[in-house]
Amino acid sequence: MTETKKKQILKPEHVVRNGAVAASIWKRQAPSGFEYFDYSISRSWKSKGTGREAYSPNFFARCKDDLLNTIEAATQWIDEQSDEPSKVDAKSAEANHQLY
């Protein structure tokens, strides 16, 4: 008997947008049980020729202000989620979650 498993669709905890730049904020849990937030940044684009829409991890120099504002807003949102803003340094993050 074959069971069909539905893939769990992961949604970000919060999304910050500035122009075409967005930061998707994810709630993660390390193998040790430590919960934390991190974010991924993307740029939306649309093809003028085909009308196709997609997201890219690449940015142009003209995206600088939107990138900076998005990073600041994402970091602020994460800090606001706890009474004491947590500053997870690279060593702690690496110890709790394998970075790639």
Looking at residue 8, its pLDDT comes to: 75
Q: Of 93, 76, 74, 77, which is closest to residue 36 (Cα–Cα)?
A: 93
Name 71's bridge partners: none
Residue type, 22: A
Residue type, 79: D
Distances (CA, A) of 22 to 8, 46, 54: 22, 15, 12
- The pTM (predicted TM-score) of the whole model is 0.72
Q: What is the pLDDT along the chain (100 residues), one digit of tens a residue?
A: 445 556 678 899 999 999 999 999 999 999 999 999 999 999 999 999 999 999 999 999 999 999 999 999 999 999 999 755 444 544 444 544 444 4
d(CA 75, CA 48) in angstroms, rounded, equals 33
Name 23's bridge partners: 16, 41
